[in-house]
Structure 1
Amino acid sequence: MILSTTGSVDGRPVREYKGIVFGETIIGANIFKDFLAGIRDIIGGRSGAYEKVLMEARETSLREMQERAAQLGANAVIGIKVDYETLGAGNGMMMVVTSGTAVVL
């Protein structure tokens, strides 16, 4: 499966549009990670715990979107967008949504 943020794939014309596909992932940050991130904010540096969680959420969302495209008979997803949003009381959860157009090249 070809995944692309562009609206086309060089040298591969779109033969069929299958529709818009999405992948959604909602993750919660536990108190231990929040504590470590707070320390990082005070002393500076990157929060590896949050970065790892965000990476896993993004990959899960992309994989889910890819699976939905495959179910439609697509061999590529073009025009992919990745959006992040905080949810819940005190913004304690993060939602990652990927979307794109499932196509046959």
Structure 2
Amino acid sequence: MIVTTTPNIEGKEIVEYKGIVFGEVIAGVDFIKDFAAGLSNFFGGRSGSYEGELIKTRENAIKEMEQRAIQMGANAIVGVDIDYEMLGQANNMMMVTASGTAVVVR
């Protein structure tokens, strides 16, 4: 499946629009990651624990979006947008939403 942020795919023709498709994943951030991120914040540098969780969550949201597009009969997704949000009373939940337009290309 071709997944792109562009509105079209070079060398391909969009022959059918199936509709908007989403993939949403909410992941909890645990105490150990919070503690490690706090140390990175205090001493400076990047937080590998948060970055790893973010990458995994984003990849899962894209996979979920792809699966929904396949169920709609699409073979590509164009115009993909990824949004990030922190949720929960203590901002300890990370939500990643992937959205795009499911299409059939040839």
Shorter-chain TM-score bucket reads over 0.9
Q: What CA deviation, in whole Å up to 9, does each residue of 1:57-102 have, x standing for no partner?
A: 0000000000000011100000000000010011111100000000
Aligned to 1:67: 67
Could you tell me which amino acid in structure 1 is paired with residue 32 of structure 2?
F
Q: Do structure 1's residue 98 and structure 2's residue 98 form an aligned pair?
A: yes
Unaligned runs of 5+ residues in structure 2 are none
What does residue 43 of structure 2 align with?
A: 43
Runs of at least 4 residues off by over 6 Å: none
Question: 1:19 & 1:56 partners in 2: Cα distance?
Answer: 26
Distance 2:99 2:74 in 1: 14
TM-score, with structure 1 as normaliser: 0.98
Per-residue deviation at 1:29?
Answer: 0.5
Task: Give me the whole-angstrom Cα distance separating, in 1, the residues matched to 2:22 and 2:61.
Answer: 8
What is residue 82 of structure 1 aligned with on the other side?
Answer: 82
Q: Quick one: which amino acid aligns to residue 37 of structure 1?
A: A
Provide the alpha-carbon RMSD of the alignment.
0.5
Q: Give the equivalent residue in structure 2 for 1:34.
A: 34
2-side partners of 1:92 and 1:36: how far apart?
Answer: 14
- Structure 1 stretches of 5 or more lacking a match? none
Provide the rounded CA distance (Å) in 1 between the counterparts of 2:44 and 2:88: 26
Secondary structure of the 1:7 match is: coil
Q: Secondary structure at the match of 2:80?
A: strand
1:16-74 deviation per Cα after TM superposition (whole angstroms, max 9, x unaligned): 00000000000111011100100001111110000000000000000000000001110
TM-score (norm 2): 0.98
